[in-house]
Amino acid sequence: MQTLTHRKEDTALLPREAGRIGVAVVLGLVLPRVSALAAGTVAASARPVAQALPQQEPPVFGSGVQLVALPVFVTDKAGRVVPGLTAADFEIEEQGRKVPVAAFLAVDVASAQPGAAAGALLAASARRQFLLLFDLQFSPFVGVQKARETSARFVREGLGDGDLVAAAAAALAQKLAGLQYDVLVTAEAKSIPLIHALSVHAHKPYIVLRKSYKPYMGEALQAETLSITTGQPQTLYLDEKDHHLIEGKRVVLVDDVISTGSTLQGMRLVLSKAGAEVVAESAIFTEGERSQWENIIALGHLPLFTG
């Protein structure tokens, strides 16, 4: 039997060496993992920071300039317009702060001369204009219906004969615009306001055939026809002074309503005697059989109903 002996210093040495070897193994195996983990943690924590701070565009602040037109009427104590004003004669303030005058235009209506601009002015017979606007998008059906009824009542009751005549004359003038003619002719008396307004629009002279003879009419030309109003024969007269105005001219006949055509026939006879050429016949309305009046230049047709 062997007895194992060892020295005290050996006994003390072995644990220390073993400890050194253990520590060396632990450090050799663990430290690389800790270093890799630390590096991955640093890299992972750096990515969100880069994503959270993208490159920002510089801020944009909007601005604008609004041009405001201010119509000004300058008169003296007597109500007369003050002429010769310039931009230097005016100051504009907004909330107590002076605002510069960007543009200035002086309009003196009293001194306007006839020219291209004056030609755009409406004729005297058509200066009353009415514009009726209907909000069909945002108004309920009941509101639109009431607006239509109110507008129709305004046209029936609010407008006078002069307004209706002016509107009819303007419309007839457009229909006659393509014709070549010299004179407008009608028979008295209801069509006189119409032919006067039509003459203004068309810039053509007009002649009225009279239904009774007066001594001042001289050697008047005449023709007999049947009055649709009275049902009695009537005579149309062309004044002697108007004869030379119509001889050899192209004429448009004008009436308010053409029903039987008897007045048209009388006017044709008189103008034939005067040596004029009838190039067209016009009226506000025709009445009766539509096919009978296909050659009449009219704004509308009125059918007749018999019971």
pTM to 2 decimals?
Answer: 0.52
Determine the 3-state secondary structure of 253 from DSSP: strand
Q: At what angle do helices 192-202 and 161-175 cross, to 10 degrees?
A: 50
DSSP state of 54: P
With respect to residue 223, please indicate whether it lies within any of the assigned structural domains: yes
CA pair distance 29, 11, nearest whole angstrom:
28
Cis peptide before 169 (omega within 30 of 0): no
Alpha-helix runs per DSSP H in the chain: 8-52, 116-119, 141-153, 161-175, 192-202, 240-246, 262-274
Residue 143 CB neighbours (<10 A): 13
Give the CATH number, domain containing residue 201. 3.40.50.2020
In a domain, 67, yes or no: no
Could you give the maximum distance between any two Cα atoms of the chain, in Å? 185
Tens digits of per-residue pLDDT, 159-197?
777 778 888 999 999 999 999 999 999 999 889 999 999
The verdict on residue 21 lying in a domain is no
pLDDT digits (tens, 9 = 90+) for 17-59: 444 443 333 334 444 444 444 444 444 444 554 555 667 788 8
Q: What residues in the chain have per-residue pLDDT under 70?
A: 1-54, 79, 108-129, 228-229, 307
Q: Total domain count for the chain?
A: 1
243 lies in a domain?
yes
Kindly state whether residue 200 falls inside one of the protein's structural domains.
yes
Structure tokens, 304: 């007749």
Residue 223 belongs to domain spanning: 161-302
Q: Are strands 233-238 and 221-226 parallel, antiparallel or unpaired?
A: antiparallel
- 104 inside domain: no
Phi, psi of 126 (to 5 degrees): -125, 25
117 exposure class (CB count in 10 Å sphere: 0-12, 13-18, 19+): exposed
Q: Is 92 within the bounds of a domain?
A: no
Residue 168: closest CA among 132, 193, 151, 187:
193
- Domain-embedded: residue 198: yes
Task: Report, in angstroms and rounded to the nearest whole number, the Rg of the chain calculated over CA atoms.
Answer: 50
Quote the pLDDT of residue 24: 37
